[in-house]
Amino acid sequence: MRLIYMGTPDFAVPPMEMLAQAGHEIIYAVTQPDAVRDRGKKIHFSPVKEKAIEMGIPVLQPSKIRRNEEFAQTLKDAEPDAIIVSAYGKILPKHILDLPKYGCLNIHGSLLPRFRGAAPIQAAIIAGDEETGVTIMRMNEGLDTGDMLAKAATPASGKTCGQLHDELSEMGGRLLVETLEDIEGALSGAEKQDDSLATYAPMISKEDGHLDFTLAPEAIERRMRAYDPWPGTFAEMNGKTYKLWRSKALEDSTEAPPGTVLAAGGEGLDISAGGRVLRVTQLQAPGKKRMETGDFLRGNVIEIGTVLR
């Protein structure tokens, strides 16, 4: 097939590679404009752009796609059979959605209609879902509301966002290639989403990683996994910000105020949370690498009664 591929972050790279390996022609890779960092001293390409250059695929980087006649004409002249979208970062207007023969197909990192939106992997972990997965969807003008062509599931329990991110990216690529093998059959058997079952996963900000010790230990543990590697979960202790990466919920109850250090030793740092105990087993001090809490405590003292906020 003649395809246009639209994507930006790491999640979108493996599917693009798999499409090429399966023999599809990727006419263009469309990605977000280059990011300027370090006060304008350094330009960063998106992961999709870097990989597209390596693969010899021409790259398009429109700053806007609505009311961009030049970009629309470029896509039209390419005569794609389908446009593939994976975490591109912009909502496609109707004139682009309607352009390809087989429409615009999206790789979404959840089992739709659960967790439409920007952060479905994190949302599934925070909710405690036992499984999550990927959905291949024919896009419409709504936010992740299009008809579903294929799904694949995987266990989510105990996994970090980083682990699921990589797994779902690979799964999405394989599922997309399989779907394109019989695209007409997939489209004819497409399943409409049940909007009554839909949930939403909003974009995450850095501040979402600030831990709330009034929550139950299980809820905090899930947030630690959901926000690993970004933004990480953190709390202030003795005037410094520590990242807390791993933990487990204990059954012990306590009347100590939320965030109070109850014990500190080789097994970890026990903290009051939601009337019970959260044992932090991996942390990161300011300016240091993450490490096992027991190892950290062999060279550092955290007093019992210290409060994390």
What DSSP line would sit under the chain, residue for residue? -EEEEEE-SGGGHHHHHHHHHTT-EEEEEE-PPPEEETTTTEEE--HHHHHHHHHT--EE--S--TT-HHHHHHHHHH--SEEEEES-SSPPPHHHHTSSTT-EEEEESSSTTTTEES-HHHHHHHTT-SEEEEEEEE--SSSS-SEEEEEEEEE-TT--HHHHHHHHHHHHHHHHHHHHHTHHHHHHT-B---GGG--EEPPP-GGGGB--TTS-HHHHHHHHHHTTTTT--EEEETTEEEEEEEEEEEEEE--SPTTBEEEEETTEEEEEETTEEEEEEEEE-TTS--EEHHHHHHH----TT-B--
CATH 2.60.120.200 fits 2-201, yes or no: no
Would you tell me how many other CB atoms lie within 10 Å of the CB of residue 58? 13
CA 186 – CA 180 distance, rounded (Å): 8
Mean pLDDT by 10-residue block, N- to C-terminus, for the chain (309 residues)? Answer: 98 98 98 83 92 98 95 97 96 96 98 97 98 98 97 98 98 98 98 98 97 98 98 97 98 97 97 98 97 96 97
The CA distances from residue 279 to 81, 176, 236, in Å, are 53, 41, 17
Contact 39, 77 (CB under 8 A): no
Residues listed for the chain: 309
Question: Residue 251: how many CA atoms within 13 Å on its side-chain side?
Answer: 0
Instruction: Please report the pLDDT score of residue 39 as a whole number.
Output: 66
Residue identified by tokens 């939403």 is: 200
Q: Where are the domains of the chain?
A: 2-201, 206-299
Instruction: Please report the pLDDT score of residue 42 as a whole number.
Output: 85
Instruction: Please report the pLDDT score of residue 190 as a whole number.
Output: 98
Instruction: Please report the pLDDT score of residue 204 as a whole number.
Output: 97
Same topology between domain 2-201 and domain 206-299: no
Contact 66, 96 (CB under 8 A): no
Pairing label, strands 268-273, 276-284: antiparallel
Contact 139, 94 (CB under 8 A): no
Instruction: Please report the pLDDT score of residue 40 as a whole number.
Output: 63
CATH 3.40.50.300 fits 206-299, yes or no: no
